[in-house]
Amino acid sequence: MRISEVVFKFLFMILLIISFGCKSKKIESSSEHIYNIATYNVRYENKNDNKTGHSWKERKAEILRLIQRHNFDIFGVQEPFYNQIHDMAMALKVYGNFGVSDDNKFNSKSNHHHDIFYNKTKFSLEEQGKFWLSPGAPNSPPDNLMKAAWGGKAKVCIWGKFKDKTSKKVFYVFNTHFYYANEQTQTKSTSLIIDKIEEIAHDFPVIFMGDLNFNQDSKAYKILENSQLLEDSYKLADSIFPLHEPKKHQTFNHWLTQPKEIVNLEDRIDYIFLSKHWKEKVKSSIVIWDKYKKDGVDKMPSDHNPVMIKLKTL
C-alpha cells in the first residue's frame, strides 16, 4: 500500500472519530440543557375520599411514580397536609424541598401546605422565603386568616432562589394556591404577587406557578397577562400536549380519566407563568393525563392534572 493511501485512511479514521465524538457530545448536551418544570395540586388528604376510592394511602404511590416517570427537575405542589409532604420527601431522595402551611403551623391538620421540590444534583437553593397574599404581604400569617385577604382567605406564596450547578445561572421560583371563592381576593392577590416578584427577584429570571383557581377570562388572569412581567407558558410553548386534543388541556379533571365532553375555561386553572427571559425557550407545555388501574378500574392520582413545561436553559 502506498504511503499516500495510508495517510488518507489514517486521516479518514481521525475525522470519523472526531465526527462521532461531536455527535455524542451534542446528544449529551441537548439532554442536559432542558428543565422539566411542573406544578401539581396533589389533593389534600380528605377523609371523604376514602369512601369514594381516592384515599391518599392509595394515591401517593401513583403520584410518586408520575413524578419519577416524567423526571421533574423542579416542581411546586399545592394542597397537601404536612404528612403528605413528609411521605413525598421520604420517597423522593434526590429532591430537596421547602414550604409551609397557610397557618404556618408544623403538621397543621386544617390548612394546606405548599412546597417546592428541586433536584439536588442539578440545583442549589441559594435563598428561600414566603409571604401571605394579604395587604402588606406579611411574612407570617395575618390574624383572621379566613378574611384577611380582602374578604377572602389569605393564602401563602413561597419562593426560592436557585442556581444551576452546571451553568451557574440563577433564577427564582414562586409557588402558590389562590383562594377560590372571592374575585376581589384573586385580583388583589395577583397585583400583590407581581409587586413582590419585582421586589424579590429584581431583574432575574422568574418562574411563577400554582393552582390559581381562575380562568383565562378572569380579571386576575388579564392582570397577569398585561403586567409586562409574566406570560402564560401555555401560550409561549412551541408545542402543546396532548397534541390535537384541546379538551385534554384542562387541568382540573374532576377525578375523571377522560375530559368532559363540554370543556369550560374554568377547567384550565393550573398555570406556569414566565418572565421575559424564557420567552423563546418553552419547547412544550404538557397537561399530564397519567392514570392507573385499581381492581380493574382506571383512576386518577389527583383531581388535578400536573402541568409540565420543557424549558430550554438560559
Q: Does residue 170 sit in helix, strand or coil?
A: strand
pLDDT at 264: 67
Residue type present at position 226? N
Q: What is the pLDDT of residues 30-74, one digit of tens each?
A: 455 999 999 999 999 999 999 999 999 999 999 999 999 999 999
Share of the chain above pLDDT 70, in %: 88
pLDDT digits (tens, 9 = 90+) for 231-279: 999 999 999 999 999 899 999 999 999 998 766 656 899 999 999 999 9
Residue 3, pLDDT > 60, answer no
Burial 92-130 (b: 16+ CB within 10 A, else e): beebbbbbbbbeeeeeeeebbbbbbbbbeebbebeeeeb
Q: What is the pLDDT of residue 266?
A: 62
Are residues 308 and 72 in contact, defined by beta-carbon separation less than 8 angstroms? yes
C-alpha cell at position 218: 378572569
Whole-number pLDDT of residue 261? 75
Find the farthest-apart pair of alpha carbons in the chain and give their distance in angstroms, rounded.
92
Do 67 and 118 touch, CB atoms closer than 8 A?
Answer: no
Give residues with Cβ within 8 angstroms of 276, minimum separation 6.
229, 231
With a pLDDT cut of 90, the percent of the chain lying above it is 86
Predicted TM-score (pTM) of the model is 0.90
List the helix and strand counts (H, then E) for the chain: 7, 15
Q: How many residues would you count in the chain?
A: 314
What gap in Å lies between CA 176 and CA 271, rounded to an integer? 10
Task: Return the residue matching grid coordinates 388572569.
Answer: 221
pLDDT for residue 200 is more than 60: yes
pLDDT in tens, 60-118: 999 999 999 999 999 999 999 999 999 999 999 999 999 999 999 999 989 999 999 99
Q: Which pLDDT score, from 0 to 100, does residue 27 have? A: 34
Going from the C-alpha of 242 to that of each of 33, 35, 82, 245, 248, the distances in angstroms are 23, 19, 32, 6, 6
